[in-house]
Amino acid sequence: MTPTIDLLKSHRSIRKFKDRKVDDQTLTAIIAAAQCAATSHFVQAYTVLRVRDMAKRQAISELAGPQVWVARAPVFLVFCADLNRLEAACGMQDTAMEKGWAEQFVTATVDAALLAQNVLIAAESLGMGGVYIGGIRNDPQTVCDLLEIPDQAYPVFGMCLGWPAQDPPPKPRLPVDAVLFTDRYPQQHDTDMLTAYDRTTNHYFLNRNSNLKDETWTHQMADLMGRVIRPHMKAFLEKKGFFLK
């Protein structure tokens, strides 16, 4: 319909990159554009860390999976939900910041996510590609130690960026009718629609250009949701000063 919509619909995760650098000017322009994302109450409760130190990159690569592309990508970023700048702003106004509220955690996490999505879209508009690295939450304390992330901030996810050296097809998303409703939440989900979506995703997994598998979306989700993932996160977040009340 428009170049922007076409760009959004062409998204795919890129894990293999050309041996081509991303210059500082380009990265700065991407971050500046991303900062125009919506931000709750104008708080801008995020910090982005570019990890260049290869020893740190390798350590994060290992704890995240391992995911070798973390070490190999031209750019690796860590997006932090961060309240420290806000505490400094309060101090400048001789005000003590309230800490530990769940709403602060939600606000900072959403802000970081909105910023990151804009980063990826801006990069893709330049012909680059990337992939989110949620695996840094496998061991978030080690990431904090490596990158000296203080309390009142935590690493939400990482992101690899660079010039694509692969051309995977986009994954088919759920039909719009499965996620868009009017005036009220559906009293039950349309399992016939999910069955049809299973056929679509199964065809995708069996015919993509790498990592072929006989799989469906509902099977993947049952496996994911049927086990506990990262049970350490609650204690970690409380230790960092989030989500206490």
DSSP codes, 159-176: EEEE-BS--PPPPPPPPG
pLDDT band at 211 (very low <50, low <70, confident <90, very high): confident
Question: Cβ distance 56 to 149 under 8 Å?
Answer: no
What's the pLDDT tens digit per position in 109-158?
Answer: 999 999 999 999 999 999 999 999 999 999 999 999 999 999 999 999 99
- Distance CA(44)–CA(154), nearest Å, equals 15
Neighbours of 231 (CB within 10 A): 7
Provide the percentage of residues in the chain whose pLDDT is more than 90.
96
Sequence-distant (6+) residues with CB within 8 A of 78 are: 48, 49, 51, 60, 136, 143, 147, 155, 157, 158, 159
pLDDT band at 1 (very low <50, low <70, confident <90, very high): confident
Q: Which ranges of 1-83 would DSSP assign to H, the alpha helix?
A: 3-9, 24-34, 54-63, 69-72
At residue 115, the 3 state secondary structure works out as: helix
b/e sequence 77-92, b meaning 16+ C-beta within 10 Å:
bbbbbbbbebeeeeee
- Distance CA(160)–CA(115), nearest Å, equals 15
What's the pLDDT tens digit per position in 167-207?
Answer: 999 999 999 999 999 999 999 999 999 999 999 999 999 99
Beta strands in the chain (DSSP E): 46-50, 75-82, 129-133, 153-162
Residue count of the chain:
245
Q: Kindly tell me if the per-residue pLDDT of 244 is higher than 80.
A: no
- Distance CA(133)–CA(111), nearest Å, equals 17
Predicted structure pTM score: 0.96
What's the pLDDT tens digit per position in 54-102?
Answer: 999 999 999 999 999 999 999 999 999 999 999 999 999 999 999 999 9
Q: Kindly tell me if the per-residue pLDDT of 209 is higher than 90.
A: no
Residue 210's pLDDT is: 82
